[in-house]
Structure 1
């Protein structure tokens, strides 16, 4: 079942795109966050999704929101992906699927393809949106909609 809207994000540790240890407690519970899981670097849909978050990144930062992408790709692959597409936000490497399991991100296509799921987490560390769709183009809009709704509360 995994984490749901209203759940608090548990603490976790992962390796970021610079090969450094990332502690979730450094961000979660301190600022609003968009955490998105995607299947694979350099694929058409995943590139489109990452670039859409890139193109709105300044707006997110201005609203006090951080963006983090997560996939099973290696640290080196994340670094190349960020460099090639000028992606300004952090990526976390999840080669064993531990974060996917923690969040309960479902696989697609009979388990052959890692799922695509976006979470919007408020500054208290509570999930405000959980959106699952293999349509990469839908994730940015859903995240923006929820962030604006949170800002108006």
Structure 2
């Protein structure tokens, strides 16, 4: 069963680009989390999406959220990708696609790993899911809209 809005987000621990273990529980009670799954480092669409998150990163921070990108690329690949594009947020390596499977992120045309963003509130509940392989900016816009709604609540 894929994760749905209103579900408790499954916890995880994955390795970051810097080699540190990062868990969802590290943020619970402290920050909202924008967890976005993307297909591959340094491809045109993924670079456009990552740079859009980068360009809005301060807005996410001001909204009390941490941005976390996930793909099955290695930590070394993430480190190079982050350095090349000055990405200030966390990138996690999901080797074997276990987290992708845990969240039920679909593939596109059965081949490409899906591009899905989850907004998880401070209590660990999924508040919004945006699934679009091609609408890169929509991932940022939809996430920010949800975070603003959480701030107003």
Instruction: Judge same fold: TM > 0.5, yes or no.
Output: yes
Aligned ranges 1:1-153 → 2 under 5 Å:
1-109=1-109, 111-135=110-134, 136-153=136-153
- After superposition, what is the alpha-carbon deviation per residue over 1:7-26, rounded to whole angstroms, capped at 9, x for unaligned? 01122111111112112211
Structure 1 residue 126: deviation in Å?
0.3
Unaligned runs of 5+ in 2: none
TM-score under structure 2 length normalisation: 0.95
Matches of 2:125 and 2:113 in 1, distance apart? 24
Native 8 Å contact 2:60 2:66 kept in 1: yes
- After superposition, what is the alpha-carbon deviation per residue over 1:14-41, rounded to whole angstroms, capped at 9, x for unaligned? 1111112112211134311100000001
TM-score under structure 1 length normalisation: 0.95
Unaligned runs of 5+ in 1: none
Structure 1 residue 61: deviation in Å?
0.9
Structure 1 residue 128: deviation in Å?
0.3
Native 8 Å contact 1:9 1:28 kept in 2: no
Dislocated runs of 4+, deviation >3 Å? none
- After superposition, what is the alpha-carbon deviation per residue over 1:70-106, rounded to whole angstroms, capped at 9, x for unaligned? 0011000000000000000000000100000110000
SS at match of 2:113: coil
Matches of 1:33 and 1:129 in 2, distance apart? 11
